[in-house]
Amino acid sequence: MSRYRLYPTPTQQAALLEQCRQARYVYNLALEQWSMWTPDKGATPGYVEQARQLTEARAASDWLRAGSQTVQQQALRDFHQAVTNFYAGTHQRPTWRKAGRHEGFRIVGQQASRIVRRNRKWAVVNVPKVGRVRFRLSRPVPDAKSYRVTRDRIGRWHIAFAAIPEPIPAPGTGEVVGVDRGVTVSAALSTGELLTCPGLTDREQARLKQLQRRLARCRRGSKRRRRVKAAIAKLHARAADRRKDWVEKTSTDLARRFDVIRVEDLRIPQMTRRPKPKPDPGRPGRYLPNRRRAKAGLNRGILANGWGLLVQRLEHKAAGRVKRVKPAYTSQTCSVCGHCAPENRESQAVFRCAACGHRANADLNAAVNIAAGRAVSARRETPPRVSPKREPQPATSA
Ligand SMILES: [Zn+2]
């Protein structure tokens, strides 16, 4: 994906938002049909059947007919991808697309490659039903068969062309690195480097807290509430931008410096799930403490550090060179003598071997173990079948 900032005029913004609304409407309609379906109605309608129904709906509704058929069809495609991912067990159940949160649509085919370069810094793309929209040429535009237009929560528009960049070639030095992903330290490398993902500064965090308290006092639907919400979204977007930037820089750096990158095979969706309630055996209907708040704090830390994103980007950039290692005991095992015991963890941050006395930063010790670790095979060996019209997907390594 190559993403560029899109600069629509106010009229174009309204037209783009209308397209987003239609894509969202079609997606939600498909989701509604899918979730209300019962076995006595026969087979669940697939993409082909829903696309046929879309043609009927377009004939019946002026509003839908006025929009782009490509946009609406691609929304159905997106929905079917979500269903496929759900059944494959890699993703959660598809959810509703919400206004303000999910603003975007996709254009495919010939019309996606109509780009005119105006000068060194600006180019124009032809968006169906909207017209020619300017975008900033922050890097060369790849030869792509499709693009996606999105609007983030603070109103910035982007255009992303679907093309997979060439992976970064291995340096050929035979060097192996282990990456341990922690909460206090974002990534510890077996080389001894500790990398921290930037988030919000203390001042920004204090401001966020203050805004959240103010939001709680605002009347629902008021102008003030909308203003406060926008300010909060701006801070969140800033943190997300920094996180993304850090992930991109770190993954490129690792892919350039090392031949093999070993990471822990962590299942983030499971780790960040809400803990199960613990019923109290003595008092029916009551519950014992299950450390839910403590885990919520940890979840925030995990997600804030963009763990999943880092590994995903590493697998794109260093395709075939990322190895997943079973994480069991990596934090309790001494990286010098191999002695494995829970007592080795002096504290959350410090590792001290009970056998040989080796003392180190706990995350670094784990990173060295991961670097030496045994790779486990990925969950799926054969790639799933995909439509040739689908956006190209990067090859993931085992
Ligand atoms: Zn030891």
Tell me, what's the pLDDT at 43? 84
Average of per-residue pLDDT across 127-134: 93
Measured in Å, residue 341 CA sits from the centre of ligand 1 at 10
Measured in Å, residue 348 CA sits from the centre of ligand 1 at 17
Residue 178 within a domain: no
Residue 227 within a domain: no
Q: Give which of 367, 15, 17, 25 is closest to 176, Cα–Cα.
A: 367
Measured in Å, residue 279 CA sits from the centre of ligand 1 at 41
Tell me, what's the pLDDT at 269? 55
Flag whether pLDDT at 84 surpasses 70: yes
Flag whether pLDDT at 19 surpasses 90: yes
Query: Are 170 and 321 in contact, with CB atoms under 8 Å apart?
Result: yes
pLDDT in tens, 309-364: 888 889 989 988 998 888 778 888 888 888 888 888 888 788 898 888 889 888 88
Residue 131 within a domain: yes
Confidence of residue 382 (pLDDT cuts 50, 70, 90): very low
**21 token code pair:** 């609304």
Tell me, what's the pLDDT at 300? 58
Tell me, what's the pLDDT at 380? 38
Spatial distance between the Cα atoms of 324 and 378, rounded to a whole number of angstroms: 8
Residue 371 within a domain: no
Residue 35 within a domain: yes
Average of per-residue pLDDT across 88-104: 89
Average of per-residue pLDDT across 207-222: 93
Backbone angles phi, psi at 224, to 5 degrees: -60, -45
Residue 211 within a domain: no
Half-sphere exposure of 89 (CA within 13 A, CB side): 4
| Domain enclosing residue 132, as ranges | 2-161
Range scoring the smallest mean pLDDT among 31-35, 106-110, 119-123: 106-110
**307 token code pair:** 């763990």
What's the length of the chain? 398
Measured in Å, residue 371 CA sits from the centre of ligand 1 at 17
Tell me, what's the pLDDT at 227? 93
Number of domains forming the structure of the chain: 1
Tell me, what's the pLDDT at 107? 92
Answer positive or negative: Cα dihedral of 294, 312, 181, 398.
positive
What b/e readout covers 24-49, taking b as 16+ CB neighbours within 10 angstroms? bbbbbbbbebbeeeeeeeeeebebee
Tell me, what's the pLDDT at 180? 87
Measured in Å, residue 346 CA sits from the centre of ligand 1 at 13
Helix, strand and coil in the chain, % to nearest 5: 40, 20, 40
Flag whether pLDDT at 376 surpasses 50: no
Residue 292 within a domain: no
Measured in Å, residue 329 CA sits from the centre of ligand 1 at 14
Measured in Å, residue 360 CA sits from the centre of ligand 1 at 11
Measured in Å, residue 262 CA sits from the centre of ligand 1 at 22
Measured in Å, residue 347 CA sits from the centre of ligand 1 at 16
Range scoring the smallest mean pLDDT among 178-187, 270-279, 383-392: 383-392
Measured in Å, residue 354 CA sits from the centre of ligand 1 at 7
The rounded mean pLDDT for the chain is: 85
Flag whether pLDDT at 64 surpasses 80: yes
Residue 64 within a domain: yes
Spatial distance between the Cα atoms of 127 and 132, rounded to a whole number of angstroms: 6
